[in-house]
Amino acid sequence: MNKYDVIIVGSGIGGLCCGSLLALAGKRVLICEAHSQPGGVAHSFKKKGYKFESGPSLWSGIGRWPTSNPLGQILKLLDEKVELVKYQGWHVSVPEGEFNLEVGQEPFKKRINLLRGHKSVEEWNSFLSAIKPLSQIVSEIPLLSSSPETINFLEIIKLTTKFFPNINLLPKLNRGFGDIVDEHLKDPFLRNWVDLLSFLISGMPMHDTNSAAMATLFDEWFQPESYLEYPKGGSESIVKTLVNAFKKNGGEIILSSRVETIKFSKKIASGVTLENGSEFISDFVVMNTDAWTCRKLIPREIAKKWNPKANNINKCGSFLHIHLGFDASGLQNLPIHAIHVDDWEKGITAERNIVVFSIPSVLDKSMAPKGKHVLHGYTPANEPWEIWENLKPTESTYKNLKEERCSIFLKSLRKIIPDIDNRIEIKMLGTPLTHKKFTNTYCGSYGPALSAAKGLFPGCKTPVKNLLTCGASTFPGIGIPAVSASGAYAAGNIIGNKEYKNLLKMLDL
């Protein structure tokens, strides 16, 4: 039987970060991935010369150094680089109007002035001043070295001393961001805007979104020199880079290898059994699967060790997707990203109210055949699973519902490309069932809907010895920077605090 130091279930970005750091630290690691491709929701697929993205499209803080992005820090540790294209602008379509917007402070202030007048600019300035000290604190506490499970008393004292003038602000960081918004913003557009950014980060409204995560976003997006980064070749390049780093240090990955159960010996995690019956033994198991899938992989007897509250988790909504390959001729100044909000009054979590588009071939010609563009659009975490769960993809009811609900995409896309219908060469629509099938996520969900107002996401340690978790269900939560950090925490727990801190010393955080 094959014996490893660590087996990781799932090759999402969290699992890959965990695996590559463990391999770097000399551990013998196996990653078992159910899908035929690594990357989890960040995987892509090819058709007729187009490379279609399925998940994340907004990347930042990976290419520059220093960076506060844990993924950028992990790539540095692994001595790996990804070729990136810098850009600043995205297209915004909101009830107040259509405009191109650049990241950075001044462009947004100009836009506020045009839309809402100078009083609202003043309000925004006061809001930014309130967030600035929070952003400073966050940038001074490197996420990678601050897992709530490993940070020690001495380090807390050191940090407390460092932030002495702003010490009263520390509790705010773990609260809902909406509290800070309520204190400073009255203008409905500004409040809606922050609610939208919060929702894109967490899948929840601003009152439920963690203030530390938002302070990080504001630090990155609203600096004078801010820019975004698109990985050349798409998300796949990030995934390939992590897989290469993992393999370079002796890691093994097996694809199309669904784990059926975690094995236990004397109630200690001791390996995995795959759906095809293969068994692998290990000292540790890390589950990169979501919270619900994790529970299914564990025998009931062992699952009892979890606090019943932890087994009753609310989920974020799912996604509708559109993938298009279309004729690019004559299309000038297309945005790489566009966001469309139909009606603020419906609320940020309303179904089919928000659509996000990304057209990576605008920046990277290798993503589409010559003279064509490739587009991925999705409704972010606001499609209810429940209306799809009992439908069968072969039935006409499903097909009709899919066409009807996905019509929101072309409706909003026509605002940017009026003749889009005549340009389409390939069109693929996806529902929560598609999302679930290709990402192996519970109910096609974005992840747990754990309100920041009620506490933090659970850490990477579980109640079971030698069984850990990482990914979007683990602290600090959803999103690429967060899952990268959780992967590092799980690795740190396995290699030991001292060795982990030694590893991080290379970064001089």
Ligand X SMILES: Cc1cc2nc3c(=O)[nH]c(=O)nc-3n(C[C@H](O)[C@H](O)[C@H](O)COP(=O)(O)OP(=O)(O)OC[C@H]3O[C@@H](n4cnc5c(N)ncnc54)[C@H](O)[C@@H]3O)c2cc1C
Site residues (vs ligand X, CB under 6 A): 9-15, 32-35, 40-42, 55-58, 258-259, 288-289, 293, 319, 378, 439-441, 471-472, 478-480, 483
Nearer to ligand X, 150 or 440 (CB): 440
Nearer to ligand X, 203 or 325 (CB): 203
Determine if residue 457 is left, alpha or beta; phi over 0 gives left, psi from -120 to 50 gives alpha, anything else beta. Answer: beta
Determine if residue 467 is left, alpha or beta; phi over 0 gives left, psi from -120 to 50 gives alpha, anything else beta. Answer: beta
Give the DSSP letter of residue 162: H
Give the DSSP letter of residue 456: P
Number of Cβ atoms within 10 Å of the Cβ of 148: 13
Pairing of strands 268-274, 279-287: antiparallel
Residue indicated by tokens 């045009």: 114
Nearer to ligand X, 57 or 67 (CB): 57
CB of 402 to ligand X, least distance (A): 17
Nearer to ligand X, 37 or 125 (CB): 37
Q: Are 49 and 270 spatial neighbours (Cβ–Cβ below 8 Å)?
A: no
CB of 27 to ligand X, least distance (A): 19
Burial of 144 (0-12, 13-18, 19+ CB in 10 A): buried
CB of 499 to ligand X, least distance (A): 23
Q: What would the two tokens of residue 427 be?
A: 């069109």
Nearer to ligand X, 120 or 431 (CB): 431
Q: By 3-state DSSP, what share of the chain in percent is helix, strand and coil, each rounded to 5?
A: 45, 20, 35
CB of 264 to ligand X, least distance (A): 16
CB of 231 to ligand X, least distance (A): 11
| CA distance linking residue 28 with residue 250, whole number of Å | 7
| 114 sits in which H/E element | helix 105-116
CB of 492 to ligand X, least distance (A): 16
Q: What would the two tokens of residue 322 be?
A: 């559109």
| CA distance linking residue 93 with residue 354, whole number of Å | 10
| CA distance linking residue 407 with residue 412, whole number of Å | 9
Q: What would the two tokens of residue 238 be?
A: 């990030």
CB of 43 to ligand X, least distance (A): 7
CB of 498 to ligand X, least distance (A): 26
CB of 331 to ligand X, least distance (A): 23
Beta-ladder partners of 337: 358
Nearer to ligand X, 112 or 380 (CB): 380
Q: Which of 134, 211, 207 is nearest to 451 (CA)?
A: 207
Nearer to ligand X, 31 or 112 (CB): 31
Nearer to ligand X, 198 or 288 (CB): 288
Nearer to ligand X, 335 or 471 (CB): 471
